[in-house]
Every structure is written in structure tokens, then in C-alpha cells.
Amino acid sequence: MRKKHFIILGRSGLIYFSWVLIVLFLCLIFLYESTKIFNWPALICALLFLILLVHTYFNSYWNNEIFKLPFRAKAKLTSEPAIIFDWQLLKIYKIRIAEFGQYYLLRFEK
């Protein structure tokens, strides 16, 4: 089965994405505080932010037997994720993992 990518919600998602957004805010600070036309530190921070977003997307997935988060090791799924909320293209899943606890996941599906 294909990998199903998602966005982490809840307390752990808030903590993880706040650290990722700190890199974006540093980029903006470097950009606005510069007097030069081209700002290398802002460009490097922006590239780092984009790399972190791509890394997060491709390392946040589940399939039939594996659940993976970008900041944790792979874990075996014990049960299927349950749909909590479904509206048009958005679905929110609740998943329980014995090693990690409980997570809420946002997924865009057709």
C-alpha cells in the first residue's frame, strides 16, 4: 500500500512546527535587518526552512504496518487510524501507538 503523508496536530505537532517556524522567523529577521541588496544569511535560513518542510512531509507517513514521524523511529501499527472529522478534502485521524501514545493527524485526501 502507498504511504499516506500527514500533518501532525495536537501538542506534539505544535511543539515540532513551532521549532520549524523559528527558522522562518530568523530568515525574516535577517531579511529586514539587512542593508544590502542581497542577503546571504536570509537566503541560507530560507533554504534551511524549505529543507525542513520537505523533510517533515516525506518523513511523516503511515502505511498498513508502519507509522513514522520525522522526530521518532518507525513503529508498528497495532490498529487502523480512526477518522475523527471528515470535511471535503480534509480528514482528521486519531491514532494510538503503544510506544508513542496518541496522535491526531491531518490529511488531505480526494
Domain hosting residue 27, numbered range: 4-108
More confident residue, 44 or 75: 44
Q: What integer pLDDT is reported at residue 74 of this predicted model?
A: 82
pLDDT tens-place string over residues 11-39: 888 888 898 889 989 988 888 887 878 88
Cα–Cα dist 68/99, whole Å: 12
Residues in contact with 85: Cβ distance below 8 Å, sequence separation at least 6, in sequence order: 91, 92
pTM of the predicted protein model: 0.76
Cα–Cα dist 12/28, whole Å: 25
When pLDDT is cut at 50, 70 and 90, the band that residue 70 belongs to is: confident
- The number of folded domains in the chain is 1
3-class SS at 73? coil
Q: What integer pLDDT is reported at residue 47 of this predicted model?
A: 93
- Contact between residue 23 and residue 52 where contact means Cβ atoms under 8 Å apart: yes
Check pLDDT > 70 for residue 1: no
